[in-house]
Amino acid sequence: MLLHAIVHPADIQDRDGGIRLLATLFGMYPFLKKLFADAAYQGPEFHKALAKVLPRLETEIVKRSDRAKGFVVLPKRWIVERTIAWLNRCRRLAKDWENLNRKALAFLRLASIRLMLRKLCNPA
């Protein structure tokens, strides 16, 4: 389920965009307790900015094992990867067709609504 999304230009790093996302998420979902993130978000800059925005939010970095060879399913991270794969089934999201960020965000929300409706109507 998509809680919140921001579409930003390509010249903004994911780490910086993540702080923008979490800063706007704070007022909407103050009850969040834990954030799962990948290795791109493990720097001290991200943790300092996160402590300013959401001081009570615990962060857990999901890392790939050094011993793993080939494809390995990582706990918690596969949920995000699976959801992105489902969203990319929508033709408008498979490529960057939109000229405006707000249109891309609108189609992302429509695709997530479509996913949620399918889950609700077919609870198998």
Distances (CA, A) of 81 to 22, 38, 50, 74, 106: 19, 11, 23, 10, 21
How far is residue 107's CA from residue 38's CA, in Å, rounded to a whole number?
Answer: 25
The secondary element (H helix, E strand) that includes residue 35 is: strand 34-37
Which structure tokens are listed for 25? 């998420």
Share of the chain above pLDDT 70, in %: 97
Q: What is the pLDDT of residues 76-97, one digit of tens each?
A: 777 777 887 888 888 777 777 7
Give the sign of the dihedral formed by CA 28, CA 30, CA 34, CA 38: positive
- Answer with the residue of higher pLDDT: 119 or 68: 119
pLDDT at 69 exceeding the cut of 80: no
Please name the residues in contact with 39: beta carbons below 8 A apart, sequence gap of 6 or more: 61, 63, 64
Per-residue pLDDT tens over the stretch 34-53: 888 888 888 888 889 888 88
In degrees rounded to 5, what are phi and psi of residue 114?
A: -60, -45
The domain defined by 14-121 folds into: Nucleotidyltransferase; domain 5 (3.30.420)
Interval 112-124 mean pLDDT? 84
Instruction: Calculate mean pLDDT across residues 48-59.
Output: 86
pLDDT of residue 124: 65
